[in-house]
Amino acid sequence: MVRALYIGRFQPYHNGHKYVIEQITQEADELIIGIGSAQMSHEPDDPFTAGERVLMITRALKDIGCPLYIIPLEDINRNALWVAHVISMTPPFDRIYSANPLVIRLFHEAGHSVTTPALYERGRLSGTTIRRRINSGEQWEDLVPPSITAVMDEIDGISRIKDLNRDDGE
Ligand code: NAD
């Protein structure tokens, strides 16, 4: 029985995350998703609350076919203690998946091996690109699962991103 941990900010959840999760579910029996920077919201780079990100991921993975645990993880101000913080908040896990260099570094230093999935269409599939496209009115819907566009409608996410990027004229 392998329980895998995958941590991300998911601002928003997109097809790159989906690609990684499809790989993880081939290799693991249960999946824990850690929603990083859970305390952040209503910022240009972090527009969505942890709860909204839970909703996105729950909808996107409703047919995942394995036990799924979605755990919001607040950041802490001491990187050296972060892995212990993550462990204290999640079910026990056997394997970690990440391509984030800091996440890999901190887990390695704490004695955990990390699997790094290949990046999938990283030029298009990143939260930064999707937020930028939404803000500038470009097409973005094909970069996320259809369930995410529905959640974005439900939470009025598009106008939130535009408002957060608006200059107040000062
Ligand atoms: P993210 O949502 O940008 O990415 C999540 C994962 O998906 C990453 O491994 C990323 O490489 C991968 N990914 C993204 N696009 C992909 C694509 N197109 N193809 C394949 N894989 C893709 O989230 P992130 O920035 O990696 O999240 C790390 C979280 O950990 C952050 O919230 C960060 O604050 C937190 N953290 C906190 C501390 C602390 O509190 N001290 C320390 C380290 C990390």
* pLDDT tens, residue by residue, 100-149: 999 999 999 999 989 999 998 888 999 999 999 999 999 999 999 999 99
129 lines ligand 1 (CB under 6 A): no
- For 19-30, the pLDDT digits (tens) are 999 999 999 999
34 lines ligand 1 (CB under 6 A): no
Which CATH number goes with the domain that contains 15?
3.40.50.620
Centre of ligand 1 to C-alpha 17, Å, is 10
Count up the domains in the chain and report the number: 1
Q: Return all residues near 110 (Cβ < 8 A) that are at least 6 apart.
A: 83, 84
Cis amide prior to 145 (ω within 30 degrees): no
Residue 56 lies in a domain: yes
Residue 36 lies in a domain: yes
Centre of ligand 1 to C-alpha 170, Å, is 33
Give the domain range for residue 107. Answer: 3-163
Q: Which residue has the tokens 């101000």?
A: 77
Euclidean distance between CA atoms 72 and 51, whole angstroms? 8
Q: Whose CA is nearest to atom 40 of ligand 1?
A: 75
